[in-house]
Amino acid sequence: MIDEMDLLKGLGNAEPPRPPAYEEARTVLRAAMAVEGTPEAVEETPEAVPARRSRWSRRRTVGLGAAALVAAAAAGVLVVTSASAPGKTPAKTAPRAANPILAELAADISPLQAKAPGNATLEIRNQSPTSTELGRNGIGLYTDDGTYYWGNDKAALRRAIVKKDGGDDLFKRDIAAALYAVKGDLGEARARMAVANIAPGTNPDPDRARIEKLKAIAKARGEKYVPPKPPTAARQKEITDNHIWTNAVDALIAAPENTQVRAGVLRIMASMPKVRVTKTTTAGQPTLTLADGWPTAGGSAEELVIDAGTGRPIAMTSSGSDVPPSTIYYHTSRVTLADVESGRF
């Protein structure tokens, strides 16, 4: 797994992708995960390159290596597998016993104030645990209502906000699922988080749409279409777990200053038996490292580092069999949208 800027750095001064492209690319990746053998199976083609402009601001790919990302983008799939559709996902099954470390941290921060002063969170991502210098990952702004803006520098971020260009409210559903998880039924919370990336009403028949896209790919390449094997129960569970993990981390990164979002995400993560938790130290501060992996998706894995006392996200390391590990550090601060729009940040 690789950072989105590694995939997109060759675009130069190309126009930043529009918000709908982000939604499309994200669902494309999830659909590709449902096809056994898809990762590493399709080589990059010239036609696939423009599709890589999925969204520069994404924190990472979703359970796939570089070749799989290109293959999925080339497919242009707009839906996810029915394994993640409401009513068909195993996410709502009764969770196992909670991880005591995450459960205790969630309980400790639940009573705290929801968020710090201001109405938005400014985020800089780079490769340093201590410096807040802008890097190749640019600068983003998450408003408290879930809208997201991004720019490769401060001036570009301000222009995006002033022009209302590139605002994306996709994170609203991730955040809503996390908030529900604080006091709601945990099985229902997991089910909501598993499909938080899907806009209501946009996924009427995922299996049919996915098959048609795969047929189109085979025809374009002059090959005979071979129906993919249906995912096994274990594979289907891995897909769902990947969706829960990815959307939960999205919620955490989109609202890092909201204690209720952090508590909800931690409560969900505590219910995932494959998530490993290790006590660590980052830049001299006590942290927790949460790790999960998806062996049948190109050996992809992620490690999320959070503050051991607050649950705030600190870093993410992504890896896969086809790429070396890549780490991004998150540096956040509270601001007001009006100040950023005026250039006072």
- Sorted by where each begins, the domain ranges of the chain are 4-341
State which amino acid sits at residue 84. S
Distance between CA atoms of residues 41 and 215, nearest Å: 15
Q: Average pLDDT, stretch 220-231?
A: 87
pLDDT at 206 (0 to 100): 61
Long-range contacts made by residues 306-313, C-beta under 8 angstroms, separation at least 24?
306/252, 308/105, 308/279, 309/105, 310/109, 310/259, 310/262, 311/105, 311/106, 311/109, 311/252, 311/259, 311/262, 311/263, 311/265, 311/266, 312/256, 312/257, 312/262, 313/249, 313/252, 313/253, 313/256
What mean pLDDT is reported for the chain? 76
Q: Which residues pair with 140 in a beta bridge?
A: 123, 150
> pLDDT tens digits for 299-338?
899 999 999 999 999 999 999 887 789 999 999 999 999 9
pTM: 0.74
Residues 341, 159: Cα–Cα separation, whole Å: 8
Q: Which residue has the higher pLDDT, 11 or 240?
A: 240
Q: What is the 3-state secondary structure (H, E, C) of 226-247?
A: CCCCCCCHHHHHHHHHHHHHHH
> Which residue would you say has higher pLDDT here, 317 or 296?
317
24-43 exposure pattern, b = at least 16 Cβ within 10 A, e = fewer: bbbbbbbbbbbbeebbbebe
Share of the chain above pLDDT 70, in %: 69
DSSP 18: P
pLDDT at 199: 79
Indicate if the pLDDT at residue 238 is higher than 50. yes
Alpha-carbon distance 227 to 214, whole Å?
8
Q: Which tokens hold the place of 141? A: 């702004």
Q: Assess whether pLDDT exceeds 80 at residue 163.
A: yes
pLDDT at 15 over 50: no
pLDDT at position 59 is 36
Per-residue pLDDT of 254-285, as tens digits, reads: 999 999 999 999 999 999 999 999 999 999 99
pLDDT band at 203 (very low <50, low <70, confident <90, very high): low
Report the pLDDT value the prediction gives residue 233, as an integer from 0 to 100. Answer: 87
Report which of 103, 97, 102, 149 is spatially closest to residue 123, judged by C-alpha positions.
149
β-pairing, 148-151 vs 276-282, is unpaired
Identify the residue whose tokens are 């996390």.
178
User: Tell me: the pLDDT tens digits for 49-80?
Assistant: 222 222 223 333 333 333 333 333 333 322 23
Confidence of residue 34 (pLDDT cuts 50, 70, 90): very low
Highest mean pLDDT: which of 53-67, 121-135, 289-303? 121-135
**What is the structure's pLDDT at 230?**
82
Angle between helices 206-220 and 19-33 (to 10 degrees): 90
What would the two tokens of residue 187 be? 């099985």
